[in-house]
Amino acid sequence: MSLGIGLTELTFPKGLCRVMGVSRRHAGLMRFFGLREVASGLGLLLQPHRREWFWARVAGDVLDLSLLAVAFRLPRANRGWLGAITAAATGLTLVDVFAAAGTWRSPRLHAGKVTPSLGMDAASGGPAESWRGSGLAEDVGASPHHSEDGLPDKEKQRMMREAARELGLPELDTSR
């Protein structure tokens, strides 16, 4: 989202000023805001687990909302467009605050580690059983060149349970 907004502000600053009904003299400020958005977006893409980037977005959102409030007071302001932009910016600010505060947590994130689901966990209603033994060892970090033929059955069962848990599959019935 940040990259899209930022690139738009960098590419079309005068057009955005015209749409909002503010002076084109503010195009430089619009470009600066675009640069800030791109920096936040790149930070989130390169370091998605660092909350500082989310807080940087929140700080930028506060700046955006402040400028929109000032723009509403201008005589030539296009209040229709400004209202729509303000509503969108407010919604994005709420999302950013939830993400920055850590209130919004994905159930797939455990201590900074993403557990692959592939949509095949028991809660998704997908055919979890059909994925067992299908060569998904690379998804759980197993070496494709490692032979398990010399391992005892209990160790193999433990490894299967661990792989199933990491893939989000239902518990294996190993009593057979």
In whole angstroms, what is the distance from residue 17 CA to residue 147 CA?
Answer: 64
- Provide, rounded to the nearest whole percent, the portion of the chain with pLDDT above 70: 69
Q: Does residue 172 belong to any structural domain of this protein?
A: no
% of the chain at pLDDT higher than 90: 23
Question: For the chain, what is the mean pLDDT?
Answer: 76
Q: Is 73 in contact with 47 (CB distance < 8 Å)?
A: no
pLDDT score, position 35: 94
Report the predicted TM-score, pTM, of the whole model to 2 decimal places. 0.55
Half-sphere exposure of 25 (CA within 13 A, CB side): 1
Q: Which pLDDT score is estimated for 109?
A: 46
- Give the SS3 label for residue 112: coil
Same domain, 128 and 44: no
Gap between the Cα atoms of 67 and 33, Å rounded? 11
Q: Is residue 176 assigned to a domain? A: no
Cα dihedral angle (135, 141, 144, 148), rounded to 10 degrees? -90
Q: Does 71 share its domain with 122?
A: no
Contact 143, 96 (CB under 8 A): no
- Identify whether residues 77 and 143 lie together within a single domain: no
| pLDDT per residue as tens digits for the range 51-78 | 888 899 999 899 889 988 988 888 888 8
User: What's the total number of domains in the chain?
Assistant: 2
Residue 87 belongs to domain spanning: 2-101
Residues 96, 29, single domain; the answer is: yes
Q: Does residue 34 share a domain with residue 68?
A: yes
Q: Which of 79, 101, 123 is the last residue of a domain?
A: 101
Domain final residue pick, 101, 131, 156: 101
Length, in residues, of the chain: 176
pLDDT, one tens digit per residue, over 124-149 is 454 444 445 555 555 555 555 445 55
Question: Is the same domain home to 92 and 14?
Answer: yes
Tokens found for residue 62: 């506060």
